[in-house]
Amino acid sequence: LGLWQSTHRDDCGAFFAGACLTPATYGRAYNAVRDEVFTWRDYYRQVGEALGVRPRLVSMPADWLLAQARQRFGFLAEISRFHGAYDAGRAKRDVPGFRCRVGFVEGAKRTLGDVRRRGAWKDSRGDAAYQALVQTALAAGVEPVEA
């Protein structure tokens, strides 16, 4: 299972504002990330916690998913199939006071609440193409696991 980090937009914004006020940071690249590194299973478990549900995962290899629907899984093709764990040490050193303060579950609650308020929430139960992928995986013998 891949490693991943997630940073809430408020923490990224605080870093950006601090960097804008710190001329020594100009022209430099930074990883403004939370220190917590977790697997995708951890990620979905924590998102489930934010939603008040226990996710059941149906895992298929990235190459299989991309062969089925490459356009749909562009983020998987380019980013999330690879480890995404970074060191924020330089950001903390160069921007005094920068620390991620929004916990993952709290940040997920805020973000998912915003998505729902804007009516952008997509219920996968009404997505026939997605449901077909899940059914194909189950028919192949994949056992769902709790996140």
pLDDT of residue 7: 95
pLDDT of residue 143: 94
> Mean of the pLDDT values across residues 90-96?
96
Which tens digits make up the pLDDT trace of 45-61?
A: 999 999 999 999 999 99
Residue appearing with tokens 């028919």: 139
Which tens digits make up the pLDDT trace of 66-77?
A: 999 999 998 998
What is the token pair recorded at 9? 């937009």
pLDDT of residue 124: 87
pLDDT of residue 48: 96
Q: Is the pLDDT of residue 112 over 90?
A: yes
Interhelix angle 9-20/104-117, rounded to 10 degrees, is 100
Q: What pTM, to 2 d.p., does this model score? A: 0.84
Instruction: Name residue 4's beta-bridge partners.
Output: 38
Structure confidence at residue 1 as a pLDDT band (50, 70, 90): low
> Mean of the pLDDT values across residues 16-22?
97
Residue 62's nearest CA partner among 85, 82, 37, 42 is 82
93 Cβ contact list (under 8 Å, min separation 6): none
> Mean of the pLDDT values across residues 85-113?
96
pLDDT of residue 37: 95
What is the token pair recorded at 146? 């709790």
Mean pLDDT of the chain, nearest integer:
94
First to last CA, the chain: 12
pLDDT of residue 130: 92
